[in-house]
Homo-oligomer: A and B are copies of this chain.
Amino acid sequence: MVSMDNADRELLARRFRVLGRHSPLFYEEPLHLVRGEGVWVWDADGRRYLDVYNNVPHVGHCHPRVVEAIARQAATLNTHTRYLHDNVVNYAERLTAKFDPSLSMAMFACTGSEANEVALRMARHHTGGQGIIVTDFAYHGNTEAVSELGTGFMPEAKTTHRVRSFPVPDSYNGLPGVAPAELADAYANAVKSAIDAFEADGIGFAGLLICPAFTNEGLVNVPDGFFARALAHVRAAGGLYIADEVQGGFGRTGRHWWSHQWHTEVPDIVTLGKPMGNGHPISAVVARADLVDEFGEWGMYFNTFGGNPVSCAAALAVLDVLEEERLPENAVSTGAYVAERLRQLQGKHSLIGEVRDRGLFFAVELVRDRASKTPATAEAARLVNDMRGQGVLISRIGRHDNVLKMRPPMPFNRENADQLLATLGDCLDRL
């Protein structure tokens, strides 16, 4: 167990006084970070940690290309999009070029929550319906309308009638009494039932909003055929498909730039955030041109900081680095290596129920018993804290907080992977 020193205790006490006690912190004993570089961060005592958690510093902590782009543009001009500027146009062109041609326009904001706000306003206005369907363990952000989507735990979700959820389409845990071969239909039918319920309520249906990689839900493996069937119901009812790529985008999942591209269905609206500016606050909505035009005219949208020259300079540099350092390709190769090694660990440790991977995003579901799949929540908590003690930062997710969550900065290499796996193996051995 790592213990906080007096200086950190005093900082924590001061923090409690000005930010309150409910501003969330990681770990049993909070970590005081002072420096970052690539896949590494250092605490105030000079201790180095391998960062296998933070996806926001997408191309690596403090990447010099991104830092230089921010510094240069901040010293030159920072205004807003009511003036013409090259950066926002150049970036919007490069960004939309990475999508299906039907997704040809972009709008800019500062956070994933703001991007999802735009998507919700856009979809509800376009369809005339209010009903949005999400999974029953979704999280898409912190504004009121977006909190409503957090049906598993956000307070606003408990009182709204305009959001309905369907069970996380999880081929590992499945549904009670449903045979594996029937799962895709069962989950798709749950989407259909939600659509019907909105119509019965007179609310109307606006669309399905999901993270196509189901990252918050534990990166579940979706039963084959679910996407096509669920989307067929959505389209038939006139609803839109909104893909939240805030966690799964920008090559994180390796084989594709966007996690929705693992499936053939093309979204109508895509929302982007966290990794986009490597930590600089920028987010976006990429959507069909007709939807952007229609919303722009009706919604009177302007975002003071959204798409400003500095934010776009940061985002352009992130694209440059991703392409020049071939980081999505690294996500494929290093990701496959990590996944293989995780499956070897699974062979040794019955605690590991399932290993799931997409590029450089890994979820390891811990169970007390492989038959009953009883969540090993306490074990997951201990592993996360033990690994922090061993200098490796990971986290956990899922309804029962029993799924190890690992999504390192994209330059994560084989040597880093070896350290992660060795530490995880040690911590599992000593559990």
Residues of A at under 8 Å CB distance from B? Answer: 8, 11-12, 14-15, 17-26, 30-36, 41, 54, 56-57, 61-62, 64, 66-67, 70-71, 74-86, 88-89, 92-93, 96, 104-107, 109-114, 117, 120-121, 125, 142-145, 147, 150, 153-156, 273-274, 278-282, 289, 292-293, 295-308, 310-311
Contacts and interface: CB of A to CB of B under 8 A. Distances in A.
Integer count of this chain's copies in the complex: 2
Contacts of A57: 78-79
Contact of A79 (B54, B86, B89, B308): B54
Nearest to A303: B142
Given A88-B19, A107-B19, A71 B67 contact: yes
21 contacts: A14-B93, A17-B105, A19-B81, A19-B89, A23-B301, A24-B302, A25-B82, A32-B83, A32-B84, A33-B83, A34-B76, A66-B74, A67-B74, A78-B279, A111-B114, A111-B306, A117-B144, A142-B299, A142-B300, A273-B304, A274-B304
A227 B299 CA distance: 32
Nearest to A96: B18
A15 B120 contact: no
Contact of A107 (B23, B62, B75, B298): B23
A79 B33 contact: yes
A18 B92 contact: yes
Contacts of A83: 25-26, 30-33
Contacts of A145: 143-145
A61 to B, nearest CB: 7
Contacts of A153: 300
Per CB-CB distance, the 4 closest pairs between chain A and chain B, nearest first, are A22-B296, A71-B71, A18-B92, A281-B305
A289 B80 CA distance: 34
Chain A interface SS verdict (over half): mixed
B25 A155 contact: no
A31 B70 contact: no
B85 A33 contact: yes
Nearest to A34: B77
A262 to B, nearest CB: 24
Residue of A31, A96, A117, A273 with most partner-chain B CB within 10 A: A117
Contact of A143 (B56, B117, B296): B117
Contacts of A79: 33, 36, 41, 54, 56-57, 279
A85 B35 contact: no
Contacts of A78: 36, 56-57, 61-62, 278-280
Given A41-B77, A89-B15, A155-B298, A113 B114 contact: yes
A20 B292 contact: yes
Contacts of A14: 89, 93
A74 B199 CA distance: 49
A380 B121 CA distance: 33
A105 B274 contact: no
A60 to B, nearest CB: 11
Contacts of A84: 8, 11-12, 15, 25, 30-33
Contact of A300 (B113, B154, B308): B154
